[in-house]
Chains A and B, each alone.
Chain A
Amino acid sequence: MIRFILARLVKAVVILLAILIFNFLLIHAAPGDPAAVMAGEAGATDEKFIADLRARFGLDQPFGVQLWLYVKSTVQLDLGFSYRQNMPVIDLIWDRLPATLLLTLTAFVIALVLGVTAGVLAASKQGTWWDSIISSMALLFYATPLFWVALMASLLFSVVLGWLPGYGYETIGANYTGFERALDIGKHLILPATTLGLFFMAVYMRMTRASMLEMSRLDFVKTARAKGLKNRVIQRRHVLRNALLPVITLAGLQAGQIVGGAVLTETVFAWPGIGRLLFEAISQRDYSVMLGVFFVSAAMVLLFNLITDVLYVLVDPRIRLT
């Protein structure tokens, strides 16, 4: 198990390095002077700032040296400086990362728990109106633009009904502490996390349903039934456990999409995470912030993948042996 996780960690580091090289190539592929690109639109007018950048990243030196300097500074967690916000990019991201982690992890858990539950329900009642309703809902969520659902949900539950806050991370000026503050954040979290999770819920539901039905036809289930096990036990211990494996694989593959979806959700709900930071950076043409967020979000995806790997090991004992 530990060796399995270690191997995955090594792979994650390799991918992160590849992303750094990719970022570097992107800066050079962009039209214009790389220093101006890194400085962003606001910083490009400052001669001294540009000259500093040139010296730091050795922009008058050979390509290989430039790449080495870029990778070296990023590995030391120097993601550049945002001239527009007058702050190092890493500090900007560090401030906003907890909010995004909270949002995406909550959405992920909501999607997985509700999706799998709905999928199990639909599969066990295959062909009934339960199945039809759940499957139709999944089809609908699967086709809905995330940002639009977010807008409509905030309109309905926040503006019209007034049930939940539809804006921000906590009530500004309330100065809650301890449990009250957690409760306040939790209230603010419900709408963004649910809307972000909706699409993925649909995906996991369909996968769980299909995979449960596929498993039910296999021989080992017949054996279990012949042994006289109760249907509930068969479903839970034999069918679901095996049916979950492809769902977890899919969840790992889609981690990137949840992180990407956070950009839209955070923009709509003014959630102060790195997704909103990315959105702000677009309108300000702040490239160091953009590339920094891109790098950190890729790292987040790798973290999600690691979590699903561990889940996989927990569900499938065969992996522990190898």
Chain B
Amino acid sequence: MMLDGFKRFARNRGAAIGLVILLFVILTAILGPLLYPDSPWKMVQRPFLPPFTMDGLPLGTDALGRDVMAGLVHGARISLLVGLVSTVVALLIGVPIGALAGYFGGFIDDALMRFTEFFQTIPSFALAIVLLAIFQPSLFYVILAIAIVSWPPVARLVRGEVLSLRSREYVEAAMLSGQGTLQIITRQILPNALPPIIVLASLMVATAILLESSLSFLGLGDPNVMSWGYMIGTARTVMRTAWWLSFIPGVAILLTVLAMNLIGEGLNDALNPRLSRKSR
């Protein structure tokens, strides 16, 4: 079944394109520090050098004479890091809540789902802003804030899956054989709920990257790391004279997010053709 899924994924043209783009971004993030060992904050030339006008500075310089290409390369690391880690943290919050609600039902289910609904109702972006403004805007809190606003769909999805899996015969057999609740949830139920969770997680990485860039754009990112959103935010004031400074990082975000979405859809078609997008 996994092999079938792999074949279906490989045949999907969109997913293949997405994978190529993502591999390129990952490679940039890994090799970047080797190619650009200097800090992306360092002034290298006079400011506002347009792209393709000087050797060694393919994308020109920004308003403070910093190398745009270096910023882009270092930004790739931050986007991927924040996207991945915040998704993992969101899974760590959402999966247990959804699993407990779905497995136990009744009062626990009610309470946990009201809690989830609450977090789904409040405007998540505004919440992330308030959280980051009150606590210090560091990479740690950026990741935490994104995770806090993005776990509810996970909880809802996992709850639904657990609810439908827990009445299966093999789960009942495990109960009768005297396995503990925790063991049944983690060993019997969750592995079978994995495919839709993987799909949702890949789409969440895309959303997290968008969120991170929006927060940095507003100046709520970690002030010590170069990120794509920050680059656009600082270039905004000089948009009329140097439009490419805001244009280029935006394309980088667009391509990365598009790649993640394409991969997510490919995984969706490959792993569980029956899952609709209702859970999102």
Contact = CB atoms under 8 A, between A and B. Distances in A.
Interface of A: 15, 18-19, 22, 26, 29-31, 37, 139-140, 142-148, 151-152, 155, 159, 206-207, 210, 214, 246, 249-250, 253, 256-257, 259-261, 263-264, 267-268, 278-279, 281-283, 285, 287, 290-291, 293-294, 297-298, 300-302, 305
B16 to A, nearest CB: 15
B120 interface: yes
Given A145-B254, A148-B246, A151-B232, A260 B126 contact: yes
Q: Which 4 A-B pairs have the closest CB atoms?
A: A260-B125, A148-B250, A143-B258, A256-B123
B125 A263 contact: yes
A144 B134 contact: no
Contact of A297 (B126, B135, B258): B126
B214 A145 contact: yes
A19 B122 contact: yes
A293 B126 contact: yes
B177 interface: no
Given A264-B214, A290-B130, A15 B232 contact: no
B243 A155 contact: yes
Which secondary structure dominates chain B's binding surface?
A: helix
Nearest to A253: B120
A260 B217 contact: no
Contact of B261 (A142, A146, A257, A261): A142
A282 B137 CA distance: 11
B213 to A, nearest CB: 5
Nearest to B278: A246
Contacts of A151: 232, 236, 239, 246, 250
Interface string B238-258: 011001001100100110011
B273 to A, nearest CB: 12
Nearest to B233: A147
Interface in B104-143: 118, 120-127, 129-131, 133-135
Nearest to B265: A139
5 contacts: A37-B134, A151-B250, A206-B277, A207-B277, A263-B125
Interface size class of chain B, counting residues whose CB lies under 8 Å from the partner chain: 35 or more
Contacts of B97: none
B175 interface: no
A140 B258 contact: yes
B122 A267 contact: no
B25 to A, nearest CB: 13
Nearest to A302: B121
Given A139-B258, A151-B246, A305-B121, A145 B134 contact: no
B246 A263 contact: no
A297 B126 CA distance: 8
B121 A15 contact: yes
A104 to B, nearest CB: 11
Contact of A143 (B126, B257, B277): B257
B224 interface: no
Contacts of A261: 125
Contacts of B246: 148, 151-152
A260 B220 contact: no
Contacts of B134: 26, 29-30, 37, 287, 290
Contacts of A26: 130-131, 134
Interface in B193-217: 206, 210, 213-214, 217
B86 to A, nearest CB: 16
A18 B118 contact: yes
A298 B240 CA distance: 35
Contacts of A31: 135
B217 A144 contact: no
A91 to B, nearest CB: 20
A119 to B, nearest CB: 12
B53 interface: no
A214 B219 CA distance: 43
